[in-house]
Structure 1
Amino acid sequence: MKLIHGALVASLLTCVWAAQAGVIVGGTRLIYDGSKKEASLSVSNPDKSSYLVQTWVETPDSATDKAPFMVTPPLFRLDGGQKNVLRVVRAGGNLASDKETLYWMNIKAIPSMESNQTQNTLQIAIKTRIKLIFRPQGVKGAPEDVADKLVWHRSGHSLQVTNPTPFYMNFMEIKVTGKPVSNVTYVAPGTTASFDMPEKASGTRVSWKVISDYGAVGAEHQGSF
């Protein structure tokens, strides 16, 4: 029984790895420049197998709100060795003109079933979810340019960061006196985010690195609270 269970787990892991390797998304985030008519993102399939790819955009609160963006093509077949370009087009919406707005772009890849396949197999669809950030025409520069303007506070066992800039600040790392803060995410424009303080962290020195528009890690910034 243990042997069968181990073989099944290995098979599942192989299927997941294959699906993840099948469709490669050409970026970890997509910045939509408000002065442009569209934003684009590449997807490629280095595998021999084909995939059915479905794409859509949703709001952080997807249960109630509808994102004012369309993706073309919304559904297409991506054969082995092929590459395609997804185009994101704004479709209305009353978006802020003085700060960025966050959405989520989804790319779901469903592996095809070979026509000559006779045995039962497990088909696993893999969904990639990346940030789609709308940057209004009036917002110039990039997050890294003003990352040093973040304001830090300590409240009990929480580390709080206030973002006075118009940009989403996506953190790669945050450290308090050299100790890493776990589960770091981002802080939205004009808001305050909280993270758990590292255990046994003392002192008031804080350092942080943010992720650039292209997914690269920026320089380290330092401050205190």
Structure 2
Amino acid sequence: MLPRSIAVSLGLLGMLMATQAAASISLNATRIVFDGDHKEANITVRNGNQDVLIQSWVDMNDASASRAPFAVTPPLARVFAKEQQLLRILYEGTGMPTDRESVVWLNVQEIPKASEAENTLQLAIRQRIKIFYRPAGLPGSALQAPAQLEWSLAKHGAQTLLQVKNPTLYHVSMADIKVQAQLASDSSMIAPGEAKQFPLKTPPAAGPVQLSFSSINDYGAQNHYTAPLSGVATHATESRLKP
């Protein structure tokens, strides 16, 4: 057993670390839609209780964290307590597909002001959100894409699989994908043209099988969808929840 003095010291250190790790900044959106008809997209960074320095950039979310053809201005900014900073995201004009929607990631890293206290652990906290780059003149609609997903059930040996294919040109972000009462996935994003499979822990009961899921729209809100399932591909319809 640890001596009391060491245990107390470790407890205080844990409390200190938790306090220093709390993010001071917040973003005013959970995602950004970059309309190719426009030259830029914006997001606001709000600061809380201490002066901080923020560093911002966009990456492709690949293994090398390679740079995306976007610039953030200002890339480095001091944000005083209780104030906010507008970030402008600019596209270089080339480097992204023009025939479908693409996703890159905005990074906003908070660099806290140096502490005047001794033996203080400070952490630089980074927040990341998706930027959906939507080329100008892209056919179809992101709002209609969830209802166009093709769902079906399939067998692979003794395993039952929930299958989904995205025939649209837009990404679909989903939450709480369920077959009857069974959770197949708590969250997933399916890209344009992509197909995915979700193994089910137990086969659905005999009789009509119901699929339900929520889709996250451009504003971060959730729309709810349901569909009957079989071995033949089917489309879900939006279901209005009772207030």
Whether these two folds match at TM > 0.5 is yes
Which residue pairs with 1:126 in the alignment?
Answer: 125
Aligned residues: 218
Q: 1:64 to 1:56 in 2, by over 3 A?
A: closer
Q: Of residues 45, 48, 60 in structure 1, which corresponds to 2:47?
A: 45
Mapping for residues 26-37 of structure 1, pairs under 5 Å: 26-37=28-39
Which residue pairs with 2:134 in the alignment?
Answer: 135
| Distance in 1 (alpha carbons) for counterparts of 2:228 and 2:166 | 14
Q: Hey, which bits of structure 1, 4+ residues long, moved more than 3 A?
A: 153-158
Aligned amino acid, residue 210 of structure 2: R
Which residue pairs with 1:25 in the alignment?
Answer: 27
Q: Deviations over 1:89-138 (max 9, x none)?
A: 10132422231011011010111114xx2422111111101001101111
Q: Does 1:181 align with 2:188?
A: no
Please tell me whether Structure 1 or Structure 2 has the larger radius of gyration of its CA atoms. 2
Mapping for residues 68-87 of structure 1, pairs under 5 Å: 68-87=69-88
TM-score by length of 1: 0.88
Aligned amino acid, residue 42 of structure 2: S
Q: Does 1:208 align with 2:207?
A: no
Tell me, which stretches of 5 or more residues in structure 1 are unaligned? none
DSSP 3-state at the match of 1:185: strand
CA offset at residue 61 of structure 1?
1.7
DSSP 3-state at the match of 1:12: helix
CA contact 1:183–1:195 (8 Å) conserved in 2: no
| Distance in 1 (alpha carbons) for counterparts of 2:105 and 2:76 | 17
DSSP 3-state at the match of 1:144: coil
Q: Of residues 160, 180, 187 in structure 1, which corresponds to 2:163?
A: 160
Which residue pairs with 1:66 in the alignment?
Answer: 67
Structure 1 or 2: more strand by fraction: 2
Q: 1:73 to 1:102 in 2, by over 3 A?
A: same
| Distance in 1 (alpha carbons) for counterparts of 2:103 and 2:81 | 32
CA contact 1:23–1:46 (8 Å) conserved in 2: yes
Aligned amino acid, residue 165 of structure 1: T
- Tell me how large the CA RMSD over aligned residues is: 2.0
CA offset at residue 211 of structure 1?
0.4
Which residue pairs with 1:4 in the alignment?
Answer: 9
Tell me, which stretches of 5 or more residues in structure 2 are unaligned? 1-5, 231-243
CA offset at residue 68 of structure 1?
0.8
| Distance in 1 (alpha carbons) for counterparts of 2:38 and 2:165 | 30
Q: Deviations over 1:33-52 (max 9, x none)?
A: 000010000001121x1111
